Amino acid sequence: MNQVLFVKANCRSLDQSVSVKLYHAFLKTYRKANPSDRVIELDLYQEDLPYYNDVMLDGMAKRRTGAELSSSEKEAAGRVMRFLDPFVTADKIVFAFPMWNFTVPAVLHTYIDYVSQPGIAYRYTPGGPVGMLGNKKAALLNARGGVYSSGPAAEQEMAVSWMKHNLELLGIQDIVTVIVEGHDQYPEHRERMIDQGIAAAMKTAAAF
């Protein structure tokens, strides 16, 4: 039995958001294909996720070295660990998120700040950082209204690429992507593009 963490980073409803449509299509298909797996859903917009700050930095640093933490540092480090523990113990992780202003929503950036912990998720070596979570698989479900996979806007894409770089830092190399793009840029093809994306999400989920 695998433990699978589903992370949703979109505050919009199912009928308003393409990435949420991908999320639900993937989740439903995965559950049907893997009924014995343990699925944990994490809706980041429903969580209390303050920006990563100096108290968290100090608390996690002291936790690594075994130094005594102040009460505020204990609380801050505890908050980080509540998100980090399920991330570390998951066998598979699924992220669903839109591209906003060329990158990921701030809440997802904050979540990645929480889980990217030295000594737990990666470690430093003379040759550079080495990931410690290489036994995981990840899926990235992304929607972006314009076309960023090719053409003049390709260099502006900092959502899926940013997520990949951060997961690779942690040692996660087995990453699959499902991307719906151009549905706002080409509204006449919107429904077809979304339908194709949902079908791709279902196919990917069945094999994930």
pLDDT at 68: 97
Phi/psi of residue 107, each to 5°?
-65, -35
Q: What is the CATH number of domain 3-207?
A: 3.40.50.360
* Residue 31, helix vs strand vs coil: helix
Q: What is the pairing mode between strands 137-144 and 38-43? A: unpaired
Is residue 28 within 8 Å of residue 35, measured between CB atoms? no
What are the two backbone dihedrals, phi and then psi, of residue 83, each rounded to the nearest 5 degrees?
-95, -35
Read off the DSSP letter of residue 158: B
The span from the CA of 98 to the CA of 18, in Å, is 8
In whole angstroms, how far apart are CA 193 and each of 105, 136, 146, 153?
22, 30, 12, 19
What are 24-77's pLDDT values in tens digits? 999 999 999 999 999 999 999 999 999 999 999 999 999 999 999 999 999 999
pLDDT band of residue 7 (cuts 50, 70, 90) is: very high
Identify each DSSP E strand in 92-173 by its residue range.
92-98, 122-125, 128-131, 137-144
| Tokens at 84, concatenated | 């980090």
The torsion of the CA quartet 51, 62, 4, 198, rounded to 10 degrees, works out to 30
Task: Kindly state the greatest CA–CA separation across the chain.
Answer: 61
Alpha helix (H) ranges present in 127-189? 160-169
Question: Distance between CA 114 and CA 178 in Å, rounded?
Answer: 24
Residues of the binding site for FMN: 17-19, 99-102
Binding-site residues, in ranges, read: 17-19, 99-102
User: What phi and psi values does residue 98 have, to the nearest 5 degrees?
Assistant: -90, 170
Neighbours of 139 (CB within 10 A): 23
- The residues, ordered by sequence, that sit 6+ positions from 32 with a Cβ below 8 Å of its Cβ are none
Reported as a single tens digit per residue, the pLDDT across 96-140 is 999 999 999 999 999 999 999 999 999 999 999 999 999 999 999
> Domain residues of the chain, as ranges?
3-207
Compute the mean pLDDT over every residue in the chain, rounded to the nearest whole number: 97
